[in-house]
Structure 1
Amino acid sequence: MTIFAQVYIDEDVDVLVATLLLARGFDATTVREQQMLGEPDQTQLAFAVSIGHCILTHNRLDFEELHTNYVVNSQTHAGIFIAKRRNTYEIAERVAILLDTLTADEIANQLLYI
């Protein structure tokens, strides 16, 4: 069992979220850090899967569709967090609460709204 999920932050989310999560002791990386800027959402999710990270995004419609495709095709992912656009500190706080509350195994293959 993996305790804490690791987070891959999509390019539409402020990179400050990663800094705030790292400061709280969570493992977080960004599209920029991984040199994935400009890649399509499908590629971003596949990359997150390849490194074992859940993905945090604001892009609800595309990632809902990607999640559905993964389920239909019996593919797995480490989780998708969809965040409503709001204050960066609030987003980081909401993600931290999820990471503190749910294990990585409980987040895996879930589509969670924050």
Structure 2
Amino acid sequence: MMRFIVDECTGTKVANFLRNQGYEVFSVYEQARGSTDTELIHKACTENWILITNDKDFGEKVYRENHPHHGIILLRLDDERATAKIAALEHLLASYAAVLPEKFTVVTPKNVRFAGRVS
């Protein structure tokens, strides 16, 4: 079963949706408000969580600063409402769940892009 850290900016409705789908969820907003990006990516990597965020700074952490990760899902949606994020995740999980671990995944309104883990 996949485990997800839902970033503070992604919201509690997304965290609750994932819990209702049976996933183990760590909600930053509920459980670690104010955590830094570095703290989150470290926790996600060392504890085998996939991080869900709409903060593009995580791309910088991975690709410029070479932070290891267990998987990151970056939501780059025009519509930032929780319903849009949930719809995007529903599609992503239904179609691509098996390939999400260890990938940097970018979800846009039109497509899904995957990049491997940077070591």
TM-score (norm 1): 0.76
Which residue in the other structure is 2:86 paired with?
A: 92
Letter of the structure 2 residue corresponding to residue 44 of structure 1: L
User: How far 1:38 moved relative to its partner?
Assistant: 1.1
Q: Secondary structure at the match of 1:78?
A: coil
Letter in 1 for 2:44: A
State the AA in 1 paired with 2:82.
Answer: T
Q: Do the aligned partners of residues 55 and 27 (structure 1) sit closer, same or farther apart at CA in structure 2, a change above 3 Å counting?
A: same
1:6 matches 2:3: yes
Give 2:61's aligned residue: 66
Structure with a larger share of its residues in strand: 2
Deviation at 1:5, TM superposition (A): 2.6
- Indicate if the aligned counterparts of 2:52 and 2:74 stay in contact, CA closer than 8 A: yes
Gaps of 5+ in 2: 108-119
Q: How big is the alpha-carbon RMSD for the aligned residues of Structure 1 and Structure 2?
A: 2.0
Residue 101 to residue 27, structure 1, CA distance change in 2 (3 Å): farther
Instruction: State the structure with bigger RCO (CA 8 A, min sep 6), 1 or 2.
Output: 1
Q: TM-score, normalised on structure 2?
A: 0.73
Contact 1:16 1:88 in 2 (8 A): yes
Partner of 1:109 in structure 2?
102
Runs of 4 or more, structure 1, over 3 Å off, are: none
2:16 aligned residue (9, 12, 19)? 19
